Amino acid sequence: MTTTRERIVHASFDVFDNLDFHKATIREIAKRSGIAPASIYKHFASKDDLVMAITNEKTKQMITELNEHFIGVRGTMNKLRKMTWYYLYFYENNPQVSWVVNISTSVKSWRESSDGWKNVRQTGQTFMGILREGQKLGDVRQDINIFVMSNIYFGGLARLVQIWLVHNQSYSLTALADDFAETIFAAVRTPTE
């Protein structure tokens, strides 16, 4: 059984999926969901609220699933590979989310959404956790700038997704996961001598 709310959320992703975010209107969502515009406002306070709700929902799902994938994985490199793969896998299967996050939401109001920010921080924490653990294990250099490293990682991933979207998703995104993870690992690993 699909609730009305679910139908709205589903249609929203559908709408944001077409890359041209000027077309991402409430009326379009209403049309595709078969729910009247006025009814959408019974479930979401405003358009911004809707956008935030659906991105948060997806991000939460992402975090949950990522944790599941982590179960039993050991070793810095393995975790890095797993996380990278999952990230790309997620966007390969939810290309809209990236656009919603990057484009549609006004950054200002997004920051004001505690939930949204919290989720992003949490994903960031996971990455930093891997690095810190690696430092303890001796895999990762002690002198890395974690802030910079983290931005390189997520910025690089985001760029990869963006380019892939601009190229109309014409190639496999997950196929790049290994190279990506290895490059990042090369940047952080303790030099062998």
Partner DNA sequence: GATGAATGAGCCTTCATTCAT
Partner DNA sequence: AATGAATGAAGGCTCATTCAT
Q: Nearer to a second copy by C-beta: 114 or 145? A: 145
107 binds a second copy (CB under 8 A): yes
Give, in degrees to the nearest 5, the angle at Cα 123 between 121 and 129: 95
Residue showing tokens 């019974």: 42
Q: Nearer to DNA by C-beta: 1 or 148? A: 1
Using CB under 7 A as the criterion, what x/- string covers residues 15-44 for binding DNA? --------xxxxxx-----xxxxxx-xxx-
What is the CB neighbour count within 10 angstroms for residue 173?
A: 22
- In this structure, the chain runs to a length of 193
End-to-end, the C-alpha distance of the chain in Å comes to: 60
Binding region for DNA (CB under 7 A) out of 45-53, 77-85, 90-98, 132-140: 45-53
Please select the residue that binds a second copy; options are 4, 7, 14, 21, rule is CB under 8 A: 21
Query: Amino acid identity of 178?
Result: D
Element (H, E) at 93: helix 76-93
Please name the residues in contact with 120: beta carbons below 8 A apart, sequence gap of 6 or more: 59
Q: How far is the CB of 68 from a second copy (least distance, A)?
A: 26
Whole-number Å distance between alpha carbons of 39 and 43: 7
153 binds a second copy (CB under 8 A): yes
> Structure tokens of 30?
């209403």
Q: Could you tell me which of 2, 7, 28 has the C-alpha nearest to residue 16?
A: 28
Which residues ranging from 43 to 102 are in contact with a second copy (CB under 8 A)?
102
Q: Nearer to DNA by C-beta: 41 or 154? A: 41
Which residues of the chain form contacts with a second copy (CB under 8 A)? 19-22, 102-103, 106-108, 111, 144-145, 147-149, 151-160, 162-163, 165-166, 176, 179-180, 183-184, 186-188, 191-193
Positions in the binding site for DNA (CB under 7 A) = 4, 23-28, 34-39, 41-43, 46-48
